């Protein structure tokens, strides 16, 4: 329940990008607030700021956050700044469960405006006070107020039956809120009279209408009562409905273990009154979320078999597409898990071919009703599979398909990640001239966005310079490197990328024997290195688990020992990015500080030490210092070595031996 609501403030820095100023509750959140905030800024630009952001102060809007199963109410505003003439844009956002009524989101505007008024003056805030007010209001809105329901002494059973019939008529016309009070009053009378059959009937309708009102927590109470009554009265239909719908409500509330328990209870006996497709699909989804991929695969297969026996129509096609899509996701997650455990073994070609076939089937149906969001995911994953099979031309074809759908869906962040993956594959193929064209086009597109950080623009100029340099076009390479270097001058802190740019420039002047320029840039390199070292010493202490979002520990042979991946573990897109990173790392060279792999807003870094038979791979934001991330990974690595090194060397360990490791990290 404590994660139902997230409250956060983020500001926009034109150099760095999004910065999360505060968030509450202060927990490890299973999705990336920086990514969500970036989407909100881009959404604002698309719909509200087509003519610039200067005159846009205090605009409130809302948007769905599907990857987090949330809906966001967002306040956009600008506070004055001496450094930035047009001011500093920022957002204050409340993330609420996606089942909360969308027409009620505006009722939190009062809290957002009060919070904004104070933040504009103070530039930072403790959010717990406002969070308490927001959560109190949220739970009151979620509750059904029964205080108005009074059973008069003259209220008879006959009147209660008449009210019950009236409630059913209101229910049938979807007047659920009015129906609730009428049905609730009759229900209370039936309970008072101890008429179990009528209590059963009224409980069924109350639980059903509450689930239709998306009051899932309250609905669960009634479904539990319905299950008990149906068992007592041997009412098979209501027993099945109670278990199924209680599981569905638990699923919507992310109470997956409880949902699984109800589905397992249903699965233990033959059912007559439950939609067989819905049962298999949701049971499969819960099994997938709980990590039981084999059971999920079996259930999704059954769901597809059931649906294929029916005549497909506009209503059933999306359901079949969802089943194929989730089956493909689950097969991919399972195969990926095996690939991560043993990445050097090429034994999964057949499984990956089946995954591609399933995604292609899903794509055929998804394209019929323009489900761009899932089309992006499925084509990206197919591209990633071909990349891991070293079929780079095919990978690029599917990445381009996904890119096309991002244009339709205006999904800028997915577009950037896909673009990075296209660049990697063109580099594998040695197609430098095509790379130049691609990067030029991307630079032209992203510079049109008001909310595109300069570090991303610098990154692509650096990439373009590297391609020109590899081709021996040193004049063009220097031009691109110097553009990127001038952008890094605007950063408040030195960056490793700036150091690499200076190294690239030094290499060019060394190759062309221009000693004057060579000496100048070597001096700049030494000065920059000193500045970077000083900065890192001053910022040595950071929240490790805030900086490193996911990490995995492997043996040199590629066997997974331990992982902490709250965001990546069930996200096929993030896992596909992780596989791309693994493909570019050599575990045997982990101690030699290999370059980070950067995909969209993520960067992947590997760390190891000579004579220690395991390595660590971490995922972090591209906005964070690469050396800071390396230092954090080193801290995790050193602590893991201290706690468990001897066990691993002696091969005397199981996965259970490491269950307390995250707790140790949190205590630092």
Q: Identify whether the C-beta of residue 317 lies closer than 8 Å to the C-beta of residue 368.
A: yes
Share of the chain above pLDDT 90, in %: 49
In CATH terms, 545-667 corresponds, of 3.40.50.720, 3.10.310.10, 3.40.50.2000, 3.30.450.70, to 3.30.450.70
pLDDT at site 234: 96
Tell me the C-alpha distance between 332 and 112, whole Å.
41
Q: 599: pLDDT confidence band, cut at 50, 70 and 90? A: confident
pLDDT at site 549: 85
Q: 2: pLDDT confidence band, cut at 50, 70 and 90? A: very low
Q: 632: pLDDT confidence band, cut at 50, 70 and 90? A: confident
pLDDT at site 54: 54
pLDDT at site 607: 86
Tell me the C-alpha distance between 333 and 293, whole Å.
8
pLDDT at site 103: 85
Q: 589: pLDDT confidence band, cut at 50, 70 and 90? A: low
pLDDT at site 139: 84
Domain assignments of the chain as residue spans, ordered by start: 6-142, 453-541, 545-667
pLDDT at site 380: 94
pLDDT at site 511: 92
Of residues 86, 28, 96, 18, the one with CA closest to residue 55: 86
- Whether residue 97 is predicted with pLDDT greater than 80 in this model: the reply is yes
pLDDT at site 309: 66
Per the listing, tokens 């101890």 go with 194
Of residues 93, 86, 132, 90, the one with CA closest to residue 109: 93
Q: 349: pLDDT confidence band, cut at 50, 70 and 90? A: confident
Tell me the C-alpha distance between 358 and 327, whole Å.
7
The CATH code for residues 453-541 is 1.25.40.10
Q: Collapse the DSSP code of 330 into the 3-class scheme (helix H, G, I; strand E, B; otherwise coil) and give the result.
A: helix
pLDDT at site 594: 64
Q: 338: pLDDT confidence band, cut at 50, 70 and 90? A: confident
pTM of the predicted model as reported, rounded to 2 decimal places = 0.83
CA atoms within 13 A on the CB side of 156: 3
Q: Which two tokens stand for residue 116?
A: 């904004």
Task: List all residues 6 or more positions away from 102 whose beta carbon is below 8 Å from its beta carbon.
Answer: 62, 71
- Whether residue 621 is predicted with pLDDT greater than 50 in this model: the reply is yes
pLDDT at site 430: 93
Between 120 and 51, the more confident residue is 120
Between 537 and 19, the more confident residue is 19
Same CATH topology for 453-541 and 545-667: the answer is: no
pLDDT at site 143: 77
Between 576 and 21, the more confident residue is 21
287-318 pLDDT, tens digit each? 998 989 999 999 999 999 998 766 778 888 89
Between 668 and 498, the more confident residue is 498
Tell me the C-alpha distance between 350 and 344, whole Å.
16
Between 655 and 660, the more confident residue is 660
Between 403 and 85, the more confident residue is 403
Could you give the C-alpha distances from 339 to 326, 351, 556, in angstroms and in order?
Answer: 19, 11, 14
């Amino acid at each position: 329940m404590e994660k139902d609501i997230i409250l956060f403030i983020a500001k926009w820095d034109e150099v760095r990008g999004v910065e999360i100023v505060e968030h509450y509750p202060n927990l490890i959140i299973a999705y990336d607030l920086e990514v969500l905030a970036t989407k909100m800024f881009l959404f604002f630009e698309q719909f509200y700021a087509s003519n610039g952001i200067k005159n846009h102060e205090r605009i409130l809007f809302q948007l769905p956050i599907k990857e987090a199963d949330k809906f966001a109410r967002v306040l956009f505003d600008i506070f004055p700044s001496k450094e930035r003439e047009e001011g500093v844009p920022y957002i204050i956002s409340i993330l609420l469960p996606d089942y909360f009524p969308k027409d009620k989101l505006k009722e939190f505007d009062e809290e957002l405006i009060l919070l904004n008024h104070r933040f504009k003056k103070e530039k930072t805030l403790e959010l717990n006070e406002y969070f308490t007010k927001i959560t109190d209001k949220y739970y009151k809105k979620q509750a059904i107020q029964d205080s108005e329901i009074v059973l008069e002494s003259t209220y008879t059973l006959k009147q209660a039956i008449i009210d019950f019939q009236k409630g059913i008529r209101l229910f049938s016309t979807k007047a659920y809120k009015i129906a609730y009070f009428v049905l609730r009053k009759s229900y209370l009378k039936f309970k008072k009279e101890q008429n179990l059959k009528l209590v059963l009937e009224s409980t069924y309708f109350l639980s059903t209408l509450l689930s239709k009102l998306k009051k899932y927590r309250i609905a669960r109470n009634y479904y539990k009562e319905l299950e008990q009554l149906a068992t007592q009265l041997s009412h098979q239909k209501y027993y099945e409905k109670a278990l199924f719908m209680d599981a569905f409500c638990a699923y919507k509330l992310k109470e997956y273990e409880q949902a699984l328990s109800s589905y397992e209870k249903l699965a233990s006996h033959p059912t007559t009154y439950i939609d067989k497709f819905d049962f298999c699909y949701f049971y499969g989804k819960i099994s997938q979320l709980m990590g039981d991929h084999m059971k999920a695969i079996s259930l999704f297969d059954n769901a597809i078999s059931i649906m294929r026996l029916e005549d497909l129509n506009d209503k059933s096609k999306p359901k079949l597409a969802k089943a194929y899509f989730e089956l493909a996701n689950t097969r991919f997650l399972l195969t990926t898990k095996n690939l991560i455990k043993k990445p050097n073994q090429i034994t999964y070609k057949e499984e990956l071919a089946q995954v591609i076939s399933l995604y292609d089937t899903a794509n055929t149906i998804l394209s019929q009703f323009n489900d761009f969001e899932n089309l992006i995911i499925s084509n990206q994953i197919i591209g990633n599979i071909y990349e891991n099979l070293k079929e780079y031309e095919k990978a690029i074809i599917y990445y381009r398909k996904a890119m096309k759908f991002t244009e339709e869906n205006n999904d800028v962040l997915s577009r950037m990640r896909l673009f990075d993956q296209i660049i990697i594959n063109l580099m594998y193929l040695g197609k430098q001239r095509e790379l130049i064209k691609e990067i030029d086009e991307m630079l032209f597109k992203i510079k049109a966005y008001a909310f595109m950080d300069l570090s991303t623009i610098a990154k692509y100029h650096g990439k373009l310079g590297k391609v020109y340099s590899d081709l021996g076009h040193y004049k063009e390479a220097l031009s691109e490197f110097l553009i990127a270097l001038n952008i890094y001058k605007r950063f408040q802190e030195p960056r490793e990328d700036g150091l690499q740019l200076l190294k690239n420039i030094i290499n060019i002047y060394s190759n062309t024997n221009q000693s004057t320029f060579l000496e100048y840039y070597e001096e700049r390199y030494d000065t920059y290195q000193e500045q970077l070292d000083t900065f890192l010493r001053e910022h040595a202490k950071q929240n490790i688990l805030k900086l490193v979002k996911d990490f995995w520990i492997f043996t040199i042979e590629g066997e997974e020992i331990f992982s902490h991946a709250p965001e990546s573990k069930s996200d096929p897109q993030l896992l596909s990015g992780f596989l791309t990173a693994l493909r570019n790392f050599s575990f045997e060279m982990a101690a030699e500080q290999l370059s980070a792999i950067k995909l969209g807003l993520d960067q992947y870094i590997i760390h190891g030490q000579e004579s220690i038979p395991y390595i660590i791979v971490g995922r972090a934001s591209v906005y964070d210092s690469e050396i800071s991330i390396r230092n954090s990974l080193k801290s995790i690595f050193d602590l893991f070595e201290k706690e468990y090194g001897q066990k691993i060397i002696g091969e005397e360990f199981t996965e259970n031996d490491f269950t307390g490791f995250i707790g140790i990290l949190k205590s630092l």
